[in-house]
Amino acid sequence: MSAPEKLSVSAAAVRTEVSKATLYVWQREARTKGLSVPAGSGVAEGWSPRDKFGVVLETVGTSEAGLAEYCRKKGVFVEEVRAWRRACESGIAAGAAEGGPALREERKRNRRLHC
């Protein structure tokens, strides 16, 4: 189900003679351990936001050569990972801008409650 073949769960079940249910359980267990797992088809465009965020987390601080190797193993393009990273950063920036005053007020309220 992962690179280089990126089989769907159905195709992996046929090839390995492991039930689809078992493969889904293994996939879910990998996610709970913090590993990024392609969702379903293995095509990066079809990955969930959670999977993409997992890839971003796994590659933080990775050198260019390390990122290229990681992408080859996962079957994604370096530029896709860079785009996902930019999207995460944009989302954080947007959230900070929107939540700035409200967050400050909430912190003040929490301080008053704890005093």
Q: What is the pLDDT of residues 11-27, one digit of tens each?
A: 888 888 889 898 888 87
Structure tokens at 92: 């954080």
Q: What is the pLDDT of residue 41?
A: 44
Q: What is the pLDDT of residue 81?
A: 93
Structure tokens at 106: 């909430």
Query: Distance of CA 9 to CAs 2, 20, 26, 48, Å?
Result: 10, 6, 11, 15
- Distance, in Å, from the CA atom of 28 to the CA atom of 30, rounded to the nearest integer, reads 5
In a domain, 2, yes or no: no
In a domain, 34, yes or no: yes
- Distance, in Å, from the CA atom of 6 to the CA atom of 63, rounded to the nearest integer, reads 24
- Distance, in Å, from the CA atom of 31 to the CA atom of 52, rounded to the nearest integer, reads 12
In a domain, 24, yes or no: yes
Q: What is the pLDDT of residue 39?
A: 46
Spacing of C-alpha 104 from chain mean position: 29
Q: What is the pLDDT of residue 104?
A: 78
Domain count, the chain: 1
Average pLDDT score over the chain = 80
**Sequence-distant (≥ 6) Cβ neighbours of residue 56 within 8 angstroms:** 81, 84, 85, 88
Low-confidence ranges of the chain (pLDDT < 70): 1-6, 31, 33-46, 95-100, 115
In a domain, 28, yes or no: yes
Q: What is the pLDDT of residue 40?
A: 45
- Distance, in Å, from the CA atom of 11 to the CA atom of 44, rounded to the nearest integer, reads 17
Domain that holds residue 87: 9-114
In a domain, 3, yes or no: no
